[in-house]
Chains A and B, each alone.
Chain A
């Protein structure tokens, strides 16, 4: 079974500063994907960034980047130049292919507050 652990229930950061959210996972799968999703108070989950396990290069999406350590099964999210709109719940997710379609496993989330 796959598990995803987010050990930081809450975090805060000053506007324009950098913050790192932690995530570890456990799996015996060799083919998988990792994601960070953002869930603002509006409730809609929005994809922040995606990492394919077979890629050694860390994914980057504008102000968002990841530190993917496959051997350590660690997948942290770095948010640079934090903005007020970044305030949300952030979920780390592991995805294993199901043949046709996929099954996602989510962590319990980290509530991030950006302070003006």
Chain B
């Protein structure tokens, strides 16, 4: 049990729609990262937030955006969904250490 929870666990959207995924981190974990895991692949870094500001970003377009809130929760927003956005989206938190604590992920299917 990592103390990181994500919602929803599964969702289905259609191309062009927008989606918001949510994550609740462990209390005190001031850094949250989001990863995209396509089927059969390892997780790929989307971005990271520290104290409500983005402080690192992977190779993802601007239609992937995020928010982090003072209560250690965060959101991943994806606009103009494409078929290739279908994946497991993982949230991970840390408290300035080297270990990531992952949630169980949100499985997004884009039709």
A residues contacting B by CB (< 8 A) are 4, 33, 35, 37, 42-47, 50, 52, 91, 93, 95, 98-109
Contacts and interface: CB of A to CB of B under 8 A. Distances in A.
Given A107-B42, A108-B40, A45 B102 contact: yes
Contacts of A4: 42
A51 to B, nearest CB: 10
Contact of A44 (B41, B58, B104): B104
A45 to B, nearest CB: 4
A91 B41 CA distance: 10
B48 A98 contact: yes
Interface in B28-59: 31, 33, 35, 40-45, 48, 50, 55-56, 58
B2 interface: yes
A1 to B, nearest CB: 9
A50 B98 contact: yes
A101 to B, nearest CB: 4
Contacts of B92: 45
B111 to A, nearest CB: 21
Q: Which of B35, B100, B104 has the most CB of A within 10 A?
A: B100
Nearest to A105: B45
B56 A98 contact: yes
B66 interface: no
Contacts of B90: 45
Contact of A108 (B2, B41, B88): B41
A44 B45 contact: no
Contact of A104 (B43, B88, B104, B105): B43
Contacts of B96: 100-101
Interface in B2-50: 2, 31, 33, 35, 40-45, 48, 50
